[in-house]
Structures are given as C-alpha cells and as structure tokens.
Amino acid sequence: MKNFKFIIVFLFTNFIFSQQLIKGELSDVKTDGLHEILVPNEIRSFSNSDLSDFRILDISGNEVPYFIRQKSASVTVNQFIDYEIISKKTIKDSVTLAVIKNPKKTINQLVLQIANYAGSKSYRLLGSNDQEEWFGLENNTRLSGLQDSDDTKIFKKITFPINAYKYIKIIFDDKNSLPINIVRIGGTKSEVTNEALLKINFTSKEITEIADEKITKIHFLFKNREIINQILFNITAPDFYNRKATLYKTVTKEVKGKEESYRKNLAQFYLNSNSANSFNISEIFENDFFIEIENNDNAPIEVSEILFFQDPIYIIASLKTNEKFTIKAGDKALKTPQYDLSYFKSNISSNLPKVTITNIIHKSTPQSNTDAVDVFWKKSWFMWLCISLAGIVILYFTSSLLKDLKKEK
C-alpha cells in the first residue's frame, strides 16, 4: 500500500513539472542538398530561446546537422544619401559611438551601413542642439541580423521618436561583445523589406478609453507566449498627432502573505502622423500585455489595426530527396549541438530551396515552462493547498495509529 501511494505521488509530481515536448515533420524534399526551414512560432514559443533543444532526425533516428540563420528586416538601397558624420570612435571594452549632423528639419530614422557582424548589438540614441547637452531618444534597443550572406556589408534601418535636434548620437554597448564597424550613416528613399517578418496573431483585443486619466488602454491576449520584435500601427485619424505609447505587463508578487500587482514597462515609443508608426522593440516573450496611449487634452486616435511581428529564424540543413525527416524540441536539458556544417555558413547561398515543418504536436501543457513553475510555487493558494494536504495526511495516519492501538488492547 505504501509503495502504491508513493508511485501515485511520484507520477502526479512528474505530470505537473513535465516539459513541453514538441514533434513535427518536414514536408516532402524534392531535391538533394541544402534547404531552408522556417521555424514557426508554434515551436519557438515552447523551445529554448537559442533553439539549443532543436533536433532534426532521419528515418533511422540519426541527427541531421544544421545551423541557424536569422533574417531581420533590412533595407534594399537604391539611392543612399550620406549624412555628415561629425565624430566616430570606439572606446575599448566600453562603447562605439558616432555623431551625425541632422540635414532635415525633423528626423525619425537613420540607415546604417555596417560591416558584417555575427551577432546583435544593443544601442542608445541621444539628441542635442549644441553637442554639449544630450537628451535621450531611445534606450537599450537591440539591432540584430547584422550580416549579409551575399555581401561584406549590410544596411540596417533604425527608427526613433520624431525630433528636431541638430545632432544625433548613437552609442553601441561593447562591454560584453566586440565592437561593430559602422561604415556609413545616412538616409534612403527605399523602404524596409518586411516580407521576411513573421506575423503573430493575438486571440483577443480590448480597447478601453479612460477619460479621467486621458489615456487609451489596449489589452492583448495571445494563445501562447510569443516572441515579438516589431509592432505596426495603422492609424486613420486625426490628421495630426504625436502620442507617447507604453507597452507594459502586469506582474503579481506576494508581499507578507498577500498578492500585490504592479506594472512593468517593456517598451516605449511615439505614434506620429509623419512616420510609418512601425517600431522595432527589444525582444519580448509574453502572452498577456497592454499598450497605453497618452492622449493629453486631445481626442483619442483612431487605430484601425495593430500588427505584431517576429524576426524569423531559419534552419539550414542538408536533406535527401524522398526521405522522411522529423523534428523534436522542448527538452530544456539539451545543449546547443556542435555540427561541422556551421563552419561553412558564410559560404552558403541565401537563396535555397525551402521545406516547411508540418504536423506539429505538443505533448503537454504550456504550464511546464520555467517561469510558470516559479509563479506556481509563489501562489498563496498553493501554500494553503500544501497545508491542507499535510493536515489530511496527519489526520489519516493519526486515525490509523489510534485504530492500531485499540486493536492491541
């Protein structure tokens, strides 16, 4: 009986903390050789952020080597306009910074030409009218996808709140990574190529106008936690507007045995009638958050739609015609595999035949992720549940002991 009880408890515990295992299949491979595989958000939502748990298996169960290729939105330049670079320098193990002179009355974007760099960089933007006193425009924003497989340099477009500063300073953080080589800074008449971005759909949206606080609050819910890198607003009215918007989430914590909620800001940006209102944000991984728009003394803006995008990640692997391949992910204990193929990725074309991942199956509930487990343990109801279960166990063994004593008498 004791062994049986122990097995039940063990299986129950194992069920609660089981991992989100994912399986899928690759679509038919029509040619031998290297292929490009888009990793859908149904897999990324439950995988390690670096995809260290991702595996491709052939029909015999052997691992198929691959490497990861990231494609961020980039700029196709037909006419590049150089801006005057006032200064540019690198401070070892600290920062790389550049100051440009603003050639326009107002500015809200720059195009950087950067020598290929394997990685991403965080940066800050500041504005000034005299190069003495500087004011913030962007803080801790990340630039990714800094390499072009067909060229030695890549153009990257960055957007920021519209302003009229005479000088703009960009500062890249080099404390934990090597500096990047900024070749040119300017503008272009070409637009960002968003075809590579992966649209992420939400399950519900609720808009609330709070007149007393002069704000519009929009609440978004997603089916699963999603990686989000870009937000696009389509605004129909009024004709002229400039509104501060904040993306935030509500966090619950326990204080002195009581649950308290507080607001945690995730990103800030300005909606402006002179801009495209497309914003690259530091990567978030959420399924429940808010966007708050400050209206001040104006009427609320009319938003026809809000779109969310994810920077796509591709797997490059060598596949054979008519063979069946499966993919697995979700084992958090797995480390990044070391395949020889990754040493040759700079020599591999960006134009490869494509296959897709189909028949994706999740074997357990999303509650298995680490953050959810942490929150689960901190909930007051769980503490009381444990106390109640402990009381029941004590009563059970006490009554059993009393019965045994009566039998002995």
What confidence tens digit (pLDDT) does each residue in 139-189 have?
888 888 888 877 899 988 888 889 999 999 999 999 988 999 999 999 876
pLDDT of residue 379: 55
Element holding 11 (H helix, E strand): helix 2-16
Q: Is residue 278 part of a domain?
A: yes
pLDDT of residue 206: 96
Of 175, 193, 211, the residue at which a domain comes to its end is 193
- Can you tell me which residue has the tokens 């075809």? 195
pLDDT of residue 16: 43
d(CA 216, CA 214): 7
Pick from 30-39, 48-57, 376-385: least confident: 376-385
Same domain, 123 and 87: yes
Our count of domains for the chain comes to: 3
pLDDT of residue 13: 45
74 — pLDDT class (breaks 50, 70, 90) = low
pLDDT of residue 409: 58
Q: Is residue 343 part of a domain?
A: no
DSSP 8-state code for residue 102: -
Could you read off the pLDDT of 101-148 as tens digits, one per residue? 999 888 988 999 999 998 888 899 999 999 999 999 988 888 888 888
Contact 258, 207 (CB under 8 A): no
DSSP 8-state code for residue 63: B
Contact 115, 180 (CB under 8 A): yes
Contact 99, 86 (CB under 8 A): yes
Contact 360, 43 (CB under 8 A): yes
Same domain, 188 and 239: no
DSSP 8-state code for residue 64: P
Same domain, 278 and 385: no
44 — pLDDT class (breaks 50, 70, 90) = very high
Beta bridge partners, 279, equal 231
**pLDDT surpasses 70 at 247:** yes
pLDDT of residue 219: 97
In sequence order, the 6+-apart residues with CB closer than 8 A to the CB of 111 are: 75, 77, 80, 155, 156, 157, 158, 185, 186, 187, 188
Same domain, 226 and 168: no
Q: What is the mean pLDDT of the chain?
A: 84
**195-199, 248-252, 331-335: which has the highest mean pLDDT?**
248-252
d(CA 75, CA 160): 16
Q: Is residue 269 part of a domain?
A: yes
pLDDT of residue 141: 84
In sequence order, the 6+-apart residues with CB closer than 8 A to the CB of 183 are: 113, 114, 115, 153
191 — pLDDT class (breaks 50, 70, 90) = low
Same domain, 145 and 110: yes
Same domain, 83 and 117: yes
Q: Is residue 337 part of a domain?
A: no
CA dihedral 97, 99, 104, 108 (to 10 degrees): 20
**pLDDT surpasses 60 at 397:** yes
Q: Is residue 180 part of a domain?
A: yes
Q: What is the chain's length?
A: 409
pLDDT of residue 380: 58
Of 264, 295, 310, the residue at which a domain comes to its end is 310
**pLDDT surpasses 80 at 408:** no
Q: Is residue 56 part of a domain?
A: no
pLDDT of residue 9: 44
Strands (E), 102-237: 107-115, 121-128, 135-143, 153-163, 167-173, 182-188, 192-193, 198-200, 204-210, 215-237
Same domain, 257 and 155: no
Find the domain containing 396 and state its range.
379-408
Same domain, 189 and 78: yes
DSSP 8-state code for residue 342: G
DSSP 8-state code for residue 79: S
One-letter amino acid identity for 273?
S
Q: Is residue 134 part of a domain?
A: yes
Same domain, 252 and 225: yes
Of 133, 162, 193, the residue at which a domain comes to its end is 193
- For residue 30 the two structure tokens come to 């029509």
Contact 224, 45 (CB under 8 A): yes
d(CA 53, CA 11): 24
Same domain, 185 and 79: yes
Same domain, 259 and 206: yes
Indicate which CATH number applies to the domain containing 145. 2.60.120.260
**pLDDT surpasses 80 at 287:** yes
Same domain, 172 and 205: no
Q: Is residue 46 part of a domain?
A: no
- Can you tell me which residue has the tokens 């801006």? 83
